[in-house]
Amino acid sequence: MGKLRLAVRTARALAATTFWYGLWWCGHGLLFLAARRRLRWRRWIMQRWCRALCRALAVRVDVIGLPPPAGSLLVSNHLSYVDVLVLGASVDAAFLSKAEVADWPLIGRLARDFDTLFLVRERRRDLPAMNQQIATTLERGVGVVLFPEGTSHRGDRVHEFRPSLLAPAAEGGLRVWAACLSYRTLDGDPPASTHVCWWGDAPFGPHARHLLQLAGIEARVEFLAEPHVDPDRKALAERLRTAIEARFQPIP
């Protein structure tokens, strides 16, 4: 049964990607001289594509609360590559990702075409330029999603938030919204902490194959009601982490 699920879900995911990416290209060409409309078209496609992929991969998303307004800065705990699909299905935003994703076959091309911001985490000298990209993206009216933990984890707790990328929000007095993510697998399946959460040295390919063979995934995203504002980026990071941690339940 697992191998059948793998084959069917892979085919469905590829079909969904082909359809929505092709549709995006059509609109991208027709709106070549209308930058703002082309941007709205790209964001609209991204959201529907994420929803289609969640359905294709048997990810049922339970949304608690209301997503932040368009053009907002949103932070979340980070558990898996599935986080992008779950959040992307609910919010209109660009994502910040580690730089190596840009070179991944197919995924890297899709990420580049859909406004992903890439950061080399080990090069601190790149942070000012990245902060400027975040500020510019927000000024264009495009929301940005950050994972301040810096990497995904097994879901035992909410790890320390790195404050460096919150500098534009702190210095500009921007409101920062928060979301709390969690996952469960169905009865009889391996635990979400190993088969949905992606962490440690687990290679992407084998992990993705195991994930696609699960009977189903229950994803829960809770959008916290109140945004946070603080001129001190370290204090802002801690306030956001504390707020998310208060709503987080460890992943089994």
- What is the percentage of the chain residues whose pLDDT exceeds 90? 63
Torsional class of 106: left (φ above 0), alpha (ψ -120 to 50), beta (otherwise): left
> Distance between alpha carbon 185 and the CA centroid of its chain, in Å?
19
Size of the chain in residues? 252
Q: How far apart are CA 75 and CA 92, in angstroms?
A: 13
Residue 202 half-sphere exposure, CB side, CA atoms within 13 Å?
A: 23
Tell me: pLDDT of 115 over 80: no
Sign of CA dihedral 22, 142, 108, 59: negative
Mind listing the pLDDT tens digit for each residue in 40-85?
888 889 999 999 999 999 999 999 999 999 889 999 999 999 999 9
Q: How far apart are CA 246 and CA 241, in angstroms?
A: 9
Mind listing the pLDDT tens digit for each residue in 185-202?
999 999 999 999 999 889
- What is the percentage of the chain residues whose pLDDT exceeds 70? 94
How many other C-beta atoms are found inside a 10 Å radius of the C-beta of residue 143? 22
Tell me: pLDDT of 38 over 80: no
DSSP conformation letters of 194-244: HHTS--TT--HHHHHHHHHTSS-EEEEEEE-SS-B--SSHHHHHHHHHHHH
Range with lowest mean pLDDT among 80-94, 97-111, 215-229: 97-111
Residue 33: per-residue pLDDT: 61
Range with lowest mean pLDDT among 78-82, 127-131, 173-177: 127-131
Domain regions of the chain by residue span:
59-247
Tell me: pLDDT of 120 over 70: no
Sign of CA dihedral 206, 186, 55, 97: negative
Helix axis angle, 35-56 to 2-30, nearest 10° = 170
Tell me: pLDDT of 34 over 70: no
Specify the 3-state DSSP secondary structure of 120: coil
More confident: 84 or 116: 84
Residue 2: per-residue pLDDT: 84
Q: Do residues 88 and 50 touch, judged by C-beta distance below 8 A? A: yes
pTM of the model: 0.91
Q: How far apart are CA 167 and CA 180, in angstroms?
A: 21
